[in-house]
Amino acid sequence: MREDSRRRAIAAALARLYPDAGCSLNYRSPFELLVATILSAQCTDERVNLVTPALFARCPTPQAMADISQEELEGLVRSTGFFRNKAKNLRGAARVIVEEFGGALPRTMDELLRLPGVARKTANVVLGNAFGLSEGFVVDTHVARLAGRMGLTRQVDPSKIEGDLMEAFPKEAWTQLGHRLIHHGRAVCSARKPACSTCAIERLCPKVGVARGA
């Protein structure tokens, strides 16, 4: 099978498996998604979703987040891990949003990257899900693992993996395909024991780095 045909077949198979795959973080606004995504670093989405209701009730706007004390914010986000740095970044990002963007979350990659705690992964999550803008490919641990196993990249650096995936698939597919890869990584292609024998795309996957008999 030609490589471009194989990639299309992978995307089509994942679409059949996870037609409604989407962001698993709970949010009601672009700002809430930004906050939740920052908190999700080194933390499960499930834990973040337990923390954010009280956090958003206390800090419903960037101004409220900018005004809250570091100590109080640390207490609200403590269970997400790395809480001191996350609280510092959240307050810093909120201040930039208020002071430089009039309290509205910016809608471009370059502007989002000016916010403390925001790198390309977080910016891609916000742009793709809150604004429907495909500016890049979200590369989390699941996407990085699956992209390597499926032979979609030989890179290990997230920015280089992102570049390979952006070249491999059409721009309009980036956001949704990212969600589907994450869902497949959680459900089937796990880090330690991938269920290759029951995987619907096994015939399309070279299983790079996977032990025989998986």
Question: Which one, of 170, 88, 179, 171, lies nearest residue 142 by Cα?
Answer: 179
Helices 120-130 & 174-187, crossing angle to 10 degrees? 110
* Annotation marks residue 171 as catalytic: no
**Is there a contact between 77 and 39 (Cβ–Cβ < 8 Å)?**
yes
Sign of CA dihedral 50, 51, 56, 61: negative
Catalytic residue among 45, 88, 140, 164, which? Answer: 140
Half-sphere exposure of 14 (CA within 13 A, CB side): 28
Please count the other Cβ atoms lying within 10 Å of the Cβ belonging to residue 108.
13
DSSP secondary structure code for residue 117 in this structure: T
- Of 121, 157, 160, 207, the active-site residue reads 121
- What is the C-alpha to C-alpha distance for residues 65 and 56, in angstroms, rounded to an integer? 9
**Inter-residue contact 150 to 165 (CB < 8 Å):** no
121 is catalytic: yes
Provide the 8-state DSSP code for 23. Answer: -
Active site members: 121, 140
